[in-house]
Chains A and B, each alone.
Chain A
Amino acid sequence: MDNRKPEAGTFFARDREWHPKAYTPGYKTSVVRSPQRALISFSNTLSEITGPVFGHNILGELDNDLIHNFARPGESAIGQRIIVHGRVLDERGRGVPNVLVEFWQANAGGRYRHKKEGYQAALDPNFGGCGRAITDEDGFYQFRTVKPGAYPWPNGVNDWRPAHIHFSIFGHGFAQRLITQMYFEGDPMIPLCPIVNTIKDPAAIDQLTAALDMDNTLPMDARAYKFDIVLRGRRSTMFENRKEGN
């Protein structure tokens, strides 16, 4: 842990116009899984301000190496070797230390290791598809993997997901909990995807698109992609909304 005092301010309000709406008929599954009544808004209480924090001691040596963490000894996953790295920031631009970042993805052929997955692309016996990291004191994380393939999915008759990696991020408060997806710079499948297009603002989609980072590429080994993630910021002013005299 670092020496900074834990923060306990309330979070900036979530911009519900920036996030996808619940009901997005282009993504058909959302139609019967989207609440139809208005969300009830309230200012954060301790139940939202606090949240679980995980220690680096939960991590195994290969947790952030998807090329090897499911592979047989001496073998490795098939595919284009990449490094994904970046920072977890809050909306005030500060690195968020000690947050658990979990990621999962299809293999290089676009196939997930899951019993409900039916795509004909081959499983890779050396690729499981999951990993995790905890950010350092400046909010940095990194992992090594293979670039996932695009794959077809049952929505429209010919819908394909762009190559993507799923991310789950804890902040320091339960109200910061977030799941999102990372896309790859230059992928022509991005604008065609009904799940991407649940997001209306192109700037929000750009923010989910990792940049090719040749500066951090390992020569003769793995290309790098840089992907920063932004969590809700905390109010930094300490004046509380209380009636005078309380």
Chain B
Amino acid sequence: MAQKLGHLKESASQTAGPYVHIGLTPNFAEIGGVYPEDLGLVLRSDKARGEAITIRGRIYDGTGTVLKDALVEIWQADSDGLYNSPSEMRGSADPHFAGWARCPTDMATGEFVFKTVKPGRVPFPDGRMMAPHVSLWIVARGINIGLNTRMYFSDEAEANAEDPILTRLEHQNRVPTLIGQRNGDEVVFDIYLQGDNETVFFDI
């Protein structure tokens, strides 16, 4: 007999369900007066460094129907590539940029919108630089465990071509599912849960 590791098991995930807004964005769910405002509405103040952009997108199920009851959270580095987190050991991130936000998909259109800044590059563990990217986490009724993906930028073709995550995908024809389409200050990133264009989801 060897010593026991004594590790616990992670609590199993369960779906966020149809009423996730009650818990995470109660004001959006018309439950007023409990919190002054919903958490995660604002990523950047006017003083935030870097290029201001707006990310928009929709989430489609396997029939092509838009999800109107989902919730998306994003997490990204500031314009210098630093995370606003106690676990960031390389320096202090822009104090005017939160790095994290959440947005319920619109109940009529299914759209999610994030007003943010374009992130800087962050190193991969081996020192190579990753291309600018935004991490996304998607929960909804019918999704048993939150889905993790990343959005890269269409105007970063050179950086994308050397990104350690993108270049390791066996099926390079799936890389476009991870690229947000930049048009001026806007970046459009639609997410497909199934089908020919199924977005690449990660086990991180």
- Residues of A near any B CB (own CB < 8 A): 1, 6-8, 12-16, 18-22, 24, 27, 29-37, 39-54, 58, 60, 62-63, 69-70, 89-93, 102-104, 112-117, 128-132, 166, 168, 172-175, 177-181, 195-196, 198-199, 201, 203-205, 207-208, 229-233, 240-243, 246
Does chain A have a CB within 8 A of B179? Answer: no
Does chain A have a CB within 8 A of B99? Answer: yes
- The 4 A-B pairs with the shortest beta carbon distances in the complex, nearest first, are A104-B23, A29-B142, A33-B142, A50-B85
Contact of A42 among B9, B16, B168, B199 (CB under 8 A): B168
Quick check: B62 and A33 within 8 Å, CB to CB?
yes
Contact with A along B1-45 (1 / 0, CB 8 A): 000001111111111111111111010011101111001000000
Quick check: B23 and A166 within 8 Å, CB to CB?
yes
Which A residues touch B99, using CB under 8 A?
52
- What CA separation (Å) do A198 and B122 show in the bound complex? 37
- What CA separation (Å) do A129 and B19 show in the bound complex? 10
Quick check: A166 and B16 within 8 Å, CB to CB?
yes
Q: How many residues of B contact A (CB 8 A)?
A: 82
Known contacts A19-B13, A112-B19, A128 near B145 by CB under 8 Å: no
Quick check: A104 and B125 within 8 Å, CB to CB?
no
Contact of A181 among B14, B130, B133, B143 (CB under 8 A): B14
Quick check: B126 and A50 within 8 Å, CB to CB?
no
Known contacts A6-B87, A50-B87, A70-B31, A18 near B10 by CB under 8 Å: yes
- What CA separation (Å) do A15 and B203 show in the bound complex? 10
Quick check: A47 and B8 within 8 Å, CB to CB?
no
- What CA separation (Å) do A12 and B98 show in the bound complex? 26
Beta-carbon nearest neighbor of B135 in chain A: A47
Main secondary structure of the interface of B (DSSP, over half): loop
Which B residues touch A181, using CB under 8 A?
14
Which B residues touch A6, using CB under 8 A?
86-87, 89
Which B residues touch A243, using CB under 8 A?
126
- What CA separation (Å) do A42 and B174 show in the bound complex? 16
- What CA separation (Å) do A93 and B89 show in the bound complex? 24
Beta-carbon nearest neighbor of B93 in chain A: A50
Quick check: A39 and B203 within 8 Å, CB to CB?
yes
Quick check: A22 and B168 within 8 Å, CB to CB?
no
Quick check: B14 and A89 within 8 Å, CB to CB?
no
Kindly list 13 other residue pairs between chains A and B, CB separation below 8 angstroms, not including A20-B12, A45-B125, A168-B23: A7-B87, A12-B10, A35-B198, A40-B201, A40-B202, A48-B204, A60-B35, A102-B24, A178-B10, A203-B9, A230-B9, A230-B11, A233-B7
Point out which of A33, A102, A114 has the most chain B C-beta atoms below 10 A from its C-beta: A33
Quick check: A208 and B12 within 8 Å, CB to CB?
yes
- What CA separation (Å) do A233 and B123 show in the bound complex? 23
Q: Could you pull out 24 A-B pairs where Cβ atoms are within 8 angstroms?
A: A16-B203, A20-B12, A22-B144, A27-B142, A31-B62, A32-B65, A34-B142, A35-B194, A39-B201, A45-B122, A45-B165, A46-B122, A47-B76, A52-B100, A91-B8, A91-B9, A93-B7, A113-B29, A115-B30, A130-B26, A175-B204, A179-B20, A198-B15, A243-B126
